[in-house]
Amino acid sequence: MNVEINKERLKNRFTRYVKIWSQSRDDVEDRYPSTEQQVEFARILEKDLEEMGLQDVQMDEHCYVTATLPANPPENSARPVLGLLAHYDTYPGVSGKDVKPILHIYDGGDIVLPDDPKVVIKAKENPELAKFVGEEIITASGTTLLGADDKAGLAEVLEAVQTLMEHPEIPRPTIRLAFTPDEETGNGTKFFDHEAFGAHVAYTFDGSVMGEVENETFSADGAKVFITGRDVHPGYAKGKMINALRVAARFIECIPQGMSPEYTEAREPYLHPVGMDGNTSEATITYIVRAFDVEGLKAQEAYMQLLAEGLEREFEGSRIRVEVKEQYRNMRYYLDKEPRAVEFAMQAVRMAGIQPHLESIRGGTDGARLSILGLPTPNIFAGGVNFHSKFEWVAVRAMAKATETALNLVQLWAGADRRA
């Protein structure tokens, strides 16, 4: 493909989007999306798609923003419909409000972020940085995350579509776009109508380092531990009080370090407490449970239940209840429906001049649930590194290569038939 990616436009769209607050919340169950700021972002995105001239632009009641780019030439409408997806919420655990993106010409070494000099992106901890010496990278200022997860993917998909509209000589099938809220809470496709979306195959641009193609995710559940204690005036509490917060602390302490994410890697599962609140009478711990297979999930959840029963005996009179909610399952089992989904992803990366590497995600994407529902959806790199942290960064060239990969996928599917 002899089309140059407009890096300035890509960069400008990305930095504009990261400045717009769209953080989700994982402690909200009575509304969708989980935050009003996501609704506001969806409205901005809807307007942007309309101004680009896309067809069928819609923001539905759940704030899924969708649009269509028709096939070119028209006879390519007989080709498989291709979906391109990204999510627009940012991780709830680190502030995504008032993000100040900073453009660096990386000269090697560590990067000290100006608004908090204690936040240092260390070269020895970020070997990927060495690929971009002398090039542009973007960080936040040190007090927030950046939001490359997944506004880099969002900008890349839109830049690819803009490029296709400017270059009608590039063949394409019908392309469906979808941008989702609440991916970071595990609910990104909770109300998504994949049949109405109408794609044969799709790709989320939500991966990390340049060249990654991800065909496997963790299977994931969420768990809440509800603890009931007994409150008594502390002056007369001996032998009577059961402090629910102390029981909660004990519960967390009893999870072995080897079951924690900071001590696991590769295909090892983990239990991860992400929130605790309460008082002397009642306390709640929120966990995420991750394993690559369902058996691993069930083993960890059984451990939590045994621990609850043991602590009820240790803190006689307390009540501890573990409640588990399914989130998503490993998408690898469902991609066999359309083996070309991964094959074309690997080929598209090679066409961009990058050596692809197939990865298993120690996390999840919207593609996991979509693949289960019957829409094969591998995950493609978006270029960001150190997601969910103030140390997040993305190289402009990596974003451009992700955009080029998207264009290559378009051309590959423009030449494919509809066989499954």
- Catalytic annotation present for 323: no
Which one, of 136, 2, 173, 156, lies nearest residue 88 by Cα? 156
Helix (H) or strand (E) holding 201: strand 201-207
Q: Are 182 and 190 in contact (CB under 8 A)?
A: yes
Annotated active-site residue in 26, 149, 159, 183: 183
Residue with tokens 């296709």: 164
What's the CA gap between 314 and 321, in Å, rounded? Answer: 15
Angle at 366 between CA 87 and CA 65, to 5 degrees: 40
- Catalytic annotation present for 293: no
First to last CA, the chain: 27
Q: Are 365 and 214 in contact (CB under 8 A)?
A: yes
Q: Are 227 and 247 in contact (CB under 8 A)?
A: yes
Helix (H) or strand (E) holding 38: helix 36-52
> What residues contact residue 362 under an 8 Å CB cut-off, 6+ apart?
218, 265, 290
The sign of the torsion formed by the CA atoms of 121, 123, 127, 130 equals positive
Adjacency order of strands within the sheet including 282-291: 270-278, 282-291, 219-228, 319-328
> What residues contact residue 155 under an 8 Å CB cut-off, 6+ apart?
10, 13, 14, 17, 399
DSSP letters for 212-271: EEEEEE-EEEEEEEEEE-B---GGG-TTT-B-HHHHHHHHHHTS-GGGSGGG--TT--EE
Annotated active-site residue in 26, 46, 89, 301: 89
- The pair of structure tokens assigned to 179 is 């941008």
The residues carrying an active-site annotation are 89, 183
